[in-house]
Amino acid sequence: SFILTGGSDGKVCIWEGKDDTDITTVTVGEKVYAVAFQGGRFFAATDENTIRIHTFPDGVGDGLVTRFTSPCRCFCITEDGSLLIAGADDFKIKVISMEENECICLYSEHQAPILSVSFDPSKEFA
């Protein structure tokens, strides 16, 4: 089990458990707004207004998930890795089918940046 964090220094920190004192760091941008681990790789939303996939634990870029016109502050990946939902400062919410590489933009009533997104366990609702 690992703990991953991202910060305003552009680094993703990787701990091998809560008692780990030998932290691995990977620089993925100038700022990391959100990070998640799924399927043996990690995903990071950075100051490039993108969510990118990185190999674990070395952090080599392994693909682009989506791009926004402003920073993506939050995203969530389903446990099986089939769907990703992301919200950004441009008030947009995107749902991405990771298997089919399709993106649906949800239009909401939000008149401000999206700060949190999630799926219900059945993946029927966001």
Of 40, 39, 67, 38, nearest to 52 (Cα)? 67
Q: Max CA-CA distance within the chain? A: 45
126: three-class secondary structure by DSSP: coil
- pLDDT, tens digit, 9 for 90 and up, residues 2-32: 999 999 999 999 999 889 999 999 999 999 9
- pLDDT, tens digit, 9 for 90 and up, residues 40-68: 999 999 999 999 999 999 999 999 999 99
Q: What percent of the chain has pLDDT over 90?
A: 84
pLDDT band at 86 (very low <50, low <70, confident <90, very high): very high
Per DSSP, which regions of 68-101 are E strands? 72-77, 83-88, 93-97
- Spacing of C-alpha 98 from chain mean position: 13
pTM assigned to the model: 0.92
Domains of the chain with CATH codes: 2-107 (2.130.10.10)
